[in-house]
């Protein structure tokens, strides 16, 4: 196994800085630097790009991103214990790594980034899903990022790429596929992590489309899709009762049947419905 840089192996970094993984922080570390470099390669050509990394931990993926040529990495980490280890990475890549301590859900990273920007992260899945939804739902498009390369529990990854008719098809699939190309690019068994989580993980790569696949207002689409899948077994006319008083007419105007269920409706149908709901 060849070294990707001159820094110590991650097991040694963890020992030196006493970085026992904490469950409360959702910490499952990747210690194989060849694997982290492989994940970094899934993010596309990093040369000439700034990369936003959330949750660098002891720095495995950070080192992958830097060794793969990222122009600059901005890493946001909540656990202050990781900062000394990350300072060593910053020293090995002068001027190319900035670390901010804090909760990624509270920090606006944009002041520290210059386009083109890619995002890469191995995060606790609940934080990852919350950030993914935020990154996919700005009112205006294209977003600040060109691509997102994110580790998820396999089950969440499958929800992002699911198509109509599948049990995993829902809000995440619609939001992701409306404005991006989304694919699973790597599958990782629990043993790839230290400590191993209970379930398998997948890396999802999302490439922002220059414009959404179908016209719709982002806020209206989000509201319609959330209501439709909140009660996914109900017919649309019942599930969407709260969205508009004349929802049956609007469903018909969108070319949908009021007795359809959310699971059967393709992305295009939800966008047509969002347009019909937005009409005054
Ligand atoms: N990227 C490292 C790796 O692949 O080995 C660490 C991955 S570990 C699954 C998740 C990391 O996210 C931890 O370092 C944890 O401290 C950090 N983290 C958890 N919640 C966070 C949050 N809200 N904001 C920023 N970092 C967070």
Q: Whose CA is nearest to atom 11 of ligand 1?
A: 55
pLDDT reported for residue 199: 96
Q: What's the CA gap between 47 and 226, in Å, rounded?
A: 38
pLDDT band at 2 (very low <50, low <70, confident <90, very high): low
Q: What is the pTM of this model?
A: 0.96
Q: For 180-186, what is the mean pLDDT? A: 98
| Residue 172 pLDDT | 97
pLDDT in tens, 161-175: 999 999 999 999 999
Instruction: Say whether pLDDT at 1 is over 60.
Output: no
Domain co-membership, 34 together with 145: yes
Instruction: Examine residue 1 and state whether it is found in any structural domain, yes or no.
Output: no
| Ligand 1 centroid – CA 23 distance (Å) | 11
CB 236 within 8 A of CB 256: yes
Cα gap 217→139, rounded to integer Å: 8
Supply the pLDDT for residue 194: 97
The residue whose CA is least distant from atom 17 of ligand 1 is 55
Same domain, 164 and 233: no
213 domain-assigned: no
CB contact at 8 A, 41 and 4: no
Ligand 1 — pocket residues by CB below 6 A? 25-30, 54-57, 60-61, 76-79, 82, 103-105, 122-124, 127
Tokens 């934080």 belong to: 127
Which residues pair with residue 188 across a beta bridge?
201
pLDDT tens digits for range 208-223 = 999 999 999 999 999 9
Q: Looking at the predicted structure, is the pLDDT value of residue 197 above 70?
A: yes
Closest ligand 1 atom, CA of 121?
Answer: 1
Specify the pLDDT at position 280: 81
Average pLDDT over residues 87-108: 98
pLDDT of amino acid 126: 85
Instruction: Give the domain extent around 31.
Output: 10-208
With a cut of 70, say whether residue 122 has pLDDT above it: yes
Q: Which CATH number is 100's domain given?
A: 3.40.50.150
Ligand 1 pocket, mutate which of 19, 42, 123 (most atoms under 8 A from CB): 123
The rounded distance, in Å, linking the Cα atoms of 62 and 40 is 9
Residue 39's nearest CA partner among 94, 93, 119, 132 is 119
Domain count, the chain: 2
Longest distance between any two alpha carbons in the chain, whole Å: 66
CA 108 to centroid of ligand 1, rounded, Å? 17
CA of 27 to the centre of ligand 1 (A): 6
Same domain, 56 and 148: yes
pLDDT of 67 = 98
Instruction: Based on the fold, state whether residues 82 and 199 are members of the same structural domain.
Output: yes
Asked, for residue 2, whether it belongs to a domain, the answer is no
Spatial CA neighbour of 178 closest among 277, 272, 274, 271: 271
Q: At 125, is the pLDDT very low, low, confident or very high (cuts 50, 70, 90)?
A: confident
Average pLDDT, stretch 131-158?
97
d(CA 59, ligand 1 centre) in Å: 10
Q: How far is the CA of 255 from the centre of ligand 1 (A)?
A: 44
Q: DSSP assignment of 56-109, as one string?
A: -TTSHHHHHHHHTT-SEEEEEES-GGGHHHHHHHHHHSTTTEEEEES-TTT--G
Nearest CA to ligand 1 atom 6: 57
Residue 268 to residue 275: CA distance in whole angstroms: 11
Q: What is the pLDDT of residues 10-19, one digit of tens each?
A: 999 999 999 9
Q: How far apart are the CA of 77 and the centre of ligand 1, in A?
A: 6
């Amino acid at each position: 196994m060849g070294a990707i840089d001159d820094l110590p192996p991650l097991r040694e970094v963890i020992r030196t800085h006493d970085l026992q993984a904490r469950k409360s922080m959702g910490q499952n570390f990747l210690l194989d630097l060849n694997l982290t470099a492989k994940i970094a390669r899934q993010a596309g050509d990093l040369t000439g790009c700034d990369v936003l990394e959330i949750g660098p931990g002891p720095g495995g993926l950070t080192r992958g991103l830097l060794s793969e040529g990222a122009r600059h990495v901005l890493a946001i980490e909540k656990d202050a214990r990781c900062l000394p280890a990350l300072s060593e990475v910053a020293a090995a890549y002068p001027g190319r790594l900035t670390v901010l301590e804090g909760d990624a859900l509270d920090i606006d990273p944009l002041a520290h980034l210059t386009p083109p920007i890619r995002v890469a992260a191995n995060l606790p899945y609940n934080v990852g899903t919350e950030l993914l939804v935020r990154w996919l739902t700005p009112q205006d498009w294209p977003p600040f990022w060109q691509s997102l390369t994110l580790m998820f529990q396999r089950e969440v990854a499958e929800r992002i790429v699911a198509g109509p008719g599948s049990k995993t098809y829902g809000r995440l699939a619609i939001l992701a596929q409306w404005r991006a190309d989304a694919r699973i690019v790597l599958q990782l068994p629990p043993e790839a992590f230290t400590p191993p989580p209970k379930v398998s993980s997948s890396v999802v790569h999302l490439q922002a489309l220059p414009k959404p696949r179908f016209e719709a207002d982002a806020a209206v689409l989000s509201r319609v899709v959330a209501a439709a899948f909140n009660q996914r077994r109900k017919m649309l006319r019942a599930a969407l009762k709260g969205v508009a008083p004349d929802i049956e007419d609007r469903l018909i105007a969108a070319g949908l049947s009021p007795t359809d269920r959310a699971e059967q409706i393709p992305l295009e149908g939800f966008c047509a419905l969002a347009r019909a709901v937005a009409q005054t």
